[in-house]
């Protein structure tokens, strides 16, 4: 079976309560061999870590979501370094900037983002970025920080403009396709992905949100990564198996800790 990886999901969310074993099993049946479940509030790290420990295909990452940056205690670099010692903790974030609903906390979000970047720099783990309605500040901060010391990064659920995509790619970062890229109205976004190098593309669900067709409007789950990946294959003019192989290689390159776990 052709295999792919859901590089970003939220298995700890209550939408999956009591069903996680079945959700993981369904994903594997659909060819989704690995999943990265994301902790968005550090006080929930124990719960997210436990999900990864209970399921061999599941890895985890941790950070403070920008929409929670003002309401949660400010993460420290040491906090993130401590969490990163866990063998299945494979990324820093999600962090980033979201000015759509929480623009009033922009200054706090920027401070939090820079802390997460430093943790990514020190651990060597990829930074996982959420960006919405903050393209200019995001491009500026990512560029400033990269000039101060390199780090790796994925622009998760990328749905921003072409200029931010170009900046991210110039810095050596990756763009992740979510169900948004499969929506009928998202041709402009698909064009942005089509202009990117194939070796910088990941796929994800961001489940339980943003289910791709034919499940749009329903609860998303990791198994549905396959639907987005099929659209990705069309965008790049590839057979599904070839696109899946490319995104698997990209994931292994960026999330090297997860790749090493699999080989072990």
> Which three-class secondary structure state does DSSP give residue 92?
strand
**Number of domain units in the chain:** 1
pLDDT of 262 over the 90 cut: no
Taking 90 as the threshold, does the pLDDT of residue 264 lie above it? no
How confident is the model at residue 125, as a pLDDT? 98
- Looking at the chain, the whole-number percentage of residues with pLDDT higher than 70 is 100
Helix (H, G, I), strand (E, B) or coil at 256: helix
**Please, which residues have CB within 8 angstroms of residue 256's CB and are 6 or more apart in sequence?**
none
> Is 72 annotated to bind ligand?
no
For residue 148, name the pLDDT band (cuts at 50, 70, 90). Answer: very high
pLDDT at 8: 98
Quickly tell me which residue has 């790749």 as its tokens: 259
Domain that holds residue 60: 4-263
At 63-79, the pLDDT tens digits run 999 999 999 999 999 99
> Is 116 labeled as ligand-binding?
no
What pLDDT is recorded for position 85? 98
**135-148 helix and 106-123 helix, angle to the nearest 10 degrees:** 30
Q: Where are the beta strands (DSSP E) in 111-247?
A: 127-132, 153-155, 174-177, 201-203
Whether residue 94 is annotated as binding a ligand: the answer is yes
The rounded distance, in Å, linking the Cα atoms of 52 and 60 is 6
Kindly report the backbone phi and psi dihedral angles of residue 141, in degrees, each rounded to the nearest multiple of 5, phi listed first. Answer: -70, -45
Q: What is this structure's pTM?
A: 0.97
Contact 92, 61 (CB under 8 A): yes
Give the model confidence (pLDDT) of 175-187 as tens digits: 999 999 999 999 9
How far apart CA 110 and CA 137 sit, in angstroms, is: 9
Is 8 marked as a binding-site residue?
A: yes
Question: Cβ contacts of residue 194 below 8 Å, gap of 6+?
Answer: 235, 236
CATH number at residue 142: 3.20.20.140
3-state SS, one letter per residue, for 130-150: EEECCHHHHHHHHHHHHHHCC
């Amino acid at each position: 079976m052709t295999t792919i990886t859901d590089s970003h999901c939220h298995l700890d969310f209550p939408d999956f309560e009591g069903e996680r074993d079945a959700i993981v099993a369904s994903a594997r049946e659909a060819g989704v061999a690995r999943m990265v479940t994301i902790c968005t509030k550090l006080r929930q790290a124990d719960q997210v870590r436990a999900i990864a420990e209970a399921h061999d295909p599941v890895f985890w990452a941790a950070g403070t979501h920008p929409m929670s940056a003002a309401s949660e205690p400010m993460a420290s670099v040491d906090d993130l370094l401590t969490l990163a010692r866990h063998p299945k903790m494979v990324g820093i974030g999600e962090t980033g900037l979201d000015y759509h609903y929480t623009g009033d906390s922009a200054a706090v979000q920027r401070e939090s983002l820079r802390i997460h970047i430093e943790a990514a720099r020190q651990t060597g783990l990829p930074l996982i970025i959420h960006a919405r309605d903050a393209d200019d500040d995001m491009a500026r901060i990512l560029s400033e920080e990269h000039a101060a010391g390199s780090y790796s990064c994925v622009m998760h659920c990328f749905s921003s403009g072409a200029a931010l995509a170009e900046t991210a790619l110039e810095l050596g970062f990756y763009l992740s396709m979510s169900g948004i890229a499969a929506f009928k109205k998202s041709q402009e976004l698909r064009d942005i992905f089509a202009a990117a190098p194939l070796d910088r593309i990941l796929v994800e669900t961001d489940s339980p949100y943003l289910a791709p067709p034919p499940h749009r409007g329903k609860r998303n789950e990791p198994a549905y990564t396959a639907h987005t990946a099929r659209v990705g294959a069309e965008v790049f003019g590839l057979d599904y198996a070839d696109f899946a192989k490319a995104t698997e290689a990209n994931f292994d390159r960026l999330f090297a800790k997860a790749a090493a776990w699999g080989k072990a």
